[in-house]
Amino acid sequence: MTAPPLSDLPLRMLPSAGRLARLRQAAGGPGSLRLIERHARVYRHAWLVFASGVFEPLFYLLSIGLGLGVLVGRVTGPGGQLVPYRDFVAPGLLAVSAMNGAMYDSTFNVFFRLKYDKLYEAVLATPVRPAEVALAEIGWALIRGCLYAVAFMLVMTSLGLVHSPWAVLAVPVALLIGFAFAAMGMTGTTFMKSWQDFDYILLASTPLFLFSATFYPLSVYPRAVRVVVEWTPLYQGVVLLRDLVLGAVGPALLWRAAYLAVLGVVGLYISGRRIGKLLLV
């Protein structure tokens, strides 16, 4: 019997697709769920770091929304109605909370696991595939963003800042915001070479935080700036949450939600391909 060509040996050493499926089933489920479980076990010992992101938007709400809001009075809200400044700011800060919780976990933490911890090299030695790694990291970022959003919604409700039954959709919308930013953040992280590259993350997130109609109505900006802001992802999230919490619901909210969903799906696809390109070489 003739020996197989040397070029075929690596392929023969790899498990078949059926074997991979059986290994994954024996591991207890999809690989993405196993990786999410791993992160949850790690953060049990660092829960204070995990929970600290709840407080930043809360401090902004108390200082600017409730403190400065006494001096500002009423501002133009959805549909041109005048609303108290604290009611205007609170939904915007909820969107920021979802963005921060999702994006920071999918950038700083993913970069450390990718470049220093070498976690993904170990993971990809198992039946877990690159797409599952990307899905797990984005899913974990969503869990973190969801906890931040739920905590912030409870604060808003206790302070009387929720004025519509449509606000029950605020947490799902916050998850959609987190999905878009987690996917974009992870995609950007796969292109980074050093910690200095994270200046680009701050360069993008800080203007979004300040100028996505979070603190001021869009009408205060020049026309050219308004056009740019209207196409940013955080602005779409701010408008979605503000309209839901204040009860100004209309068909236009559907395309804003679709915008964020498409952004998240595209980021998930690209990040999965990038992880595979970086590690399966």
Domain span holding position 168: 44-279
Q: Is residue 2 part of a domain?
A: no
Q: Is residue 61 part of a domain?
A: yes
DSSP string, 11-24: HHHSPPHHHHHHHH
Q: Tell me, what DSSP letter sits at residue 84? A: E
Q: Is residue 21 part of a domain?
A: no
| Pair 114, 130: CB distance under 8 Å | no
Outline where the chain has alpha helix (H). 9-13, 17-26, 31-43, 47-51, 55-60, 69-72, 85-104, 110-115, 119-123, 130-158, 170-189, 198-211, 223-229, 233-246, 252-279
H/E stretch holding 82 = strand 82-84
pLDDT, tens digit (0-9, with 9 covering 90-100), for 180-230: 999 999 999 999 988 888 888 888 888 898 889 888 888 888 989 999 999
pLDDT, tens digit (0-9, with 9 covering 90-100), for 85-142: 888 999 998 998 888 888 878 888 889 888 888 888 888 888 888 888 888 989 888 8
Q: Is residue 227 part of a domain?
A: yes
Q: Is residue 48 part of a domain?
A: yes
> What are residue 232's phi and psi, to 5 degrees?
-85, 150
| Pair 97, 173: CB distance under 8 Å | no
Q: Which residues pair with residue 82 across a beta bridge?
A: 76
pLDDT, tens digit (0-9, with 9 covering 90-100), for 9-39: 333 434 444 443 443 443 334 778 888 888 8
**pLDDT over threshold 90, residue 236:** yes
Q: Is residue 91 part of a domain?
A: yes
The count of C-alpha atoms lying within 13 angstroms of the C-alpha of 155, restricted to the half-sphere facing its C-beta, is: 24
CB atoms within 10 A of CB 253: 18
Mean pLDDT of 48-71: 72
Amino acid, res. 82: L
Q: Which residues pair with residue 83 across a beta bridge?
A: 75
pLDDT, tens digit (0-9, with 9 covering 90-100), for 237-274: 999 999 999 988 888 899 999 999 999 999 999 988 88
The tally of domains found in the chain comes to: 1
Q: Is residue 51 part of a domain?
A: yes
> Taking the model in full, what pTM does it have?
0.83
Q: Is residue 18 part of a domain?
A: no
